[in-house]
């Protein structure tokens, strides 16, 4: 029951504190924290280049029109937006954006169609976007080899596309295409416009790892605690498909590959924590292979191999408890911030002892920190979370043979504020063949921290 309450509390905390797909964190209520072009949209909003709609939305997935494109570019260049008639027969002073369209004509940004129209309500394509930005921001002509399979030098948008691509304003797709006839939405056009204005927002031609938390480039081996969280930052948006296949660890002792549970940590970064597959004192290598790719289709320029070792705690606090045919060897390394814990449970009888775990990631031995209060033992602090979403919820059954052992390896984090009560370590060994097996009772051991004698 306590475990169910804890899991429920965790779910509630995550629900209440984690941003969701529809929850905005910036200017517009329909631009969420994980929206691909959030940074670019917020940049344009801060510059008052975009303002959205009266209801507080931006409608990033609506197609962008030629009139809207003219307004956004006009504001970016601080052109005169005063409504006026233009040379286009379909853009009078009554048309929204007429002033910006007229000013863009004077700057040579807009030329319109041969029939004398501008077609302000027509949707903008990727090719047209490249032409508009090339003219508006006078992009430097580039002459690299054409890498796009669907554009050629006889196209009117050819040089504009090449320039926008070379400068990191607009990239192609992983299949080698640019797709110049594809219609843009408001979010996509905002991204390209923002990158044209601000070079720091542009996507990199070379896809590379910018940083890894807790790692300084060089030949030396890194030493980390077993609860270390790795954050890998790239210089461009990451293609999240198959990331676990291309980022993994290998244990040095037996060359065993260890797959990692990797989480998205933003558009350009990912994170993972070491878990129960790792052990104190062991040496590993983290591999980030060239198969990791950006959303623009670029493979990682240089693969990385990072060698690291898990710090071995001193474990100078020890205690042995024997109960109901089991021997529990406690080893602790305690500081103000962490309590590194290793508990080995051994069957000291001549009989096989059945036991269960509460999930496929639970091997039947669990622990927590408690304080002794007037209402009884109460959980405090927190624990190194090593059970991820990949664990199944069924109750696995195990058999502990005579003389065999199982091990709990974890890190407890004491409460940051003083508590009124004696701090305990509690360990539970769940004997039985199921949660309803009343022929056995779980072994529960409470040990005050002050009882660890350091022997």
Which pLDDT belongs to residue 219?
A: 63
pLDDT at 20 over 70: no
pLDDT at 382 over 80: yes
216 CB neighbour count, 10 Å cutoff: 8
CA 418/CA 395 separation, integer angstroms: 37
CA 424/CA 253 separation, integer angstroms: 35
Q: CATH for 209-310, among 2.60.40.1220, 3.50.50.60, 2.60.40.420, 3.20.20.70? A: 2.60.40.1220
pLDDT at 273 over 90: no
Q: How confident is the model at residue 12 (pLDDT cuts 50, 70, 90)?
A: very low
Question: Span 80-88, mean pLDDT?
Answer: 94
Sign (positive/negative) of CA torsion 4, 5, 6, 8? positive
pLDDT at 432 over 70: yes
- Percent of the chain at pLDDT > 90 equals 47
CA 136/CA 73 separation, integer angstroms: 7
Q: CATH for 317-451, among 3.10.20.30, 2.60.40.2360, 1.10.3720.10, 3.40.50.620? A: 2.60.40.2360
Question: Span 75-85, mean pLDDT?
Answer: 94
Which pLDDT belongs to residue 203?
A: 79
pLDDT at 24 over 60: no
CA 438/CA 357 separation, integer angstroms: 16
Which pLDDT belongs to residue 84?
A: 94
Which pLDDT belongs to residue 122?
A: 95
Which pLDDT belongs to residue 83?
A: 95
How far are the Cα atoms of 88, 229, 289 from residue 265, in angstroms, in the given order? 48, 12, 19
Structure confidence by residue, pLDDT tens digits, 276-311: 788 889 999 999 998 888 876 777 878 888 999 999
- Lowest-confidence pick of 16-30, 263-277, 283-297: 16-30
pLDDT at 403 over 60: yes
Higher-pLDDT residue of 206, 55: 55
Which pLDDT belongs to residue 158?
A: 95
Which pLDDT belongs to residue 243?
A: 73
Residues of the chain with CATH 2.60.40.1220: 209-310
Q: How confident is the model at residue 264 (pLDDT cuts 50, 70, 90)?
A: confident
Q: Which of 48, 8, 65, 55 is nearest to 30 (CA)?
A: 55
Which pLDDT belongs to residue 352?
A: 95
Average pLDDT score over the chain: 85
How far are the Cα atoms of 32, 176, 284 from residue 57, in angstroms, in the given order? 11, 34, 48
CA 388/CA 5 separation, integer angstroms: 18
Which pLDDT belongs to residue 452?
A: 58
Question: Span 224-230, mean pLDDT?
Answer: 89
Which pLDDT belongs to residue 19?
A: 36
Strands 222-224 and 263-264: unpaired
Which pLDDT belongs to residue 358?
A: 75
Residues of the chain with CATH 2.60.40.2360: 317-451
Which pLDDT belongs to residue 384?
A: 82
Phi, psi at 263, each rounded to 5°: -115, 145
Cβ pair 285, 252 in contact under 8 A: yes
Structure tokens at 24: 């905005």
Q: How confident is the model at residue 386 (pLDDT cuts 50, 70, 90)?
A: low
Q: How confident is the model at residue 390 (pLDDT cuts 50, 70, 90)?
A: low
Question: Span 50-74, mean pLDDT?
Answer: 93
CA 341/CA 372 separation, integer angstroms: 20
Which pLDDT belongs to residue 216?
A: 72
């Amino acid at each position: 029951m306590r475990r169910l309450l804890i899991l429920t509390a965790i779910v509630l905390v995550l629900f209440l504190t984690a941003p969701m797909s529809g929850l905005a964190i910036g200017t517009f209520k329909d631009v969420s924290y994980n929206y691909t072009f959030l940074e670019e949209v917020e940049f344009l909003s801060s510059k008052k280049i975009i303002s959205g709609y009266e209801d507080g939305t931006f409608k990033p997935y609506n197609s962008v029109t030629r009139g809207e494109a003219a307004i956004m570019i006009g504001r970016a260049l601080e052109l005169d937006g005063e409504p006026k008639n233009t040379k286009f027969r379909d853009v009078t002073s009554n048309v929204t954006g007429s002033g910006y369209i007229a000013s863009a004509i004077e700057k040579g940004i807009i030329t319109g169609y041969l029939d004398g129209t501008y077609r302000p309500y027509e949707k903008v394509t990727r090719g047209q976007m490249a032409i508009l930005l090339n003219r508006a921001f006078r992009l430097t002509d580039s002459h690299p080899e054409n890498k796009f399979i669907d554009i050629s030098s006889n196209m009117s948008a050819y040089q504009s596309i090449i320039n926008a691509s070379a400068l990191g304003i607009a990239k192609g797709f992983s299949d080698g295409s640019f797709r110049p006839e594809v219609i843009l939405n408001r979010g996509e056009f905002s991204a390209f416009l923002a990158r044209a204005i601000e070079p720091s927002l542009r996507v990199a031609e070379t896809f590379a790892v910018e940083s890894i938390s807790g790692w300084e480039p060089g030949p030396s081996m890194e030493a980390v605690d077993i609860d270390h969280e790795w954050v890998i930052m790239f210089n461009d948006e990451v293609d999240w498909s198959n990331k676990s296949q291309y980022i993994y660890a290998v244990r040095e002792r037996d060359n065993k590959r260890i797959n990692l549970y990797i989480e998205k940590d933003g558009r350009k970064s990912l994170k993972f924590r070491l878990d129960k597959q790792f052990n104190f004192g062991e040496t590993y290598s983290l591999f980030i292979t060239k198969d990791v790719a950006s959303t623009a289709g670029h493979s990682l320029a240089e693969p990385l191999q990072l060698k690291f070792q898990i710090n071995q705690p001193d474990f100078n606090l020890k205690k042995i408890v024997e109960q109901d045919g089991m021997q529990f060897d406690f080893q602790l390394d305690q500081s103000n911030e962490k309590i590194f814990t290793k508990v080995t449970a051994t069957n000291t009888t001549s009989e096989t002892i059945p036991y269960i775990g509460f999930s496929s990631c639970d091997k039947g031995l669990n622990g927590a920190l408690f304080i002794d209060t007037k209402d009884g033992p109460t959980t405090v602090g927190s624990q190194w979370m090593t059970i991820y979403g990949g664990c199944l919820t069924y109750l696995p059954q195990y058999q502990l043979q005579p003389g065999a052992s199982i091990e709990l390896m974890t890190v407890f984090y004491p409460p940051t504020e003083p508590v009124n009560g004696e701090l305990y370590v509690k360990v539970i060994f769940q004997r039985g063949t199921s949660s309803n097996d009343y022929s056995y009772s779980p072994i529960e051991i409470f040990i005050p921290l002050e009882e660890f004698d350091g022997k």
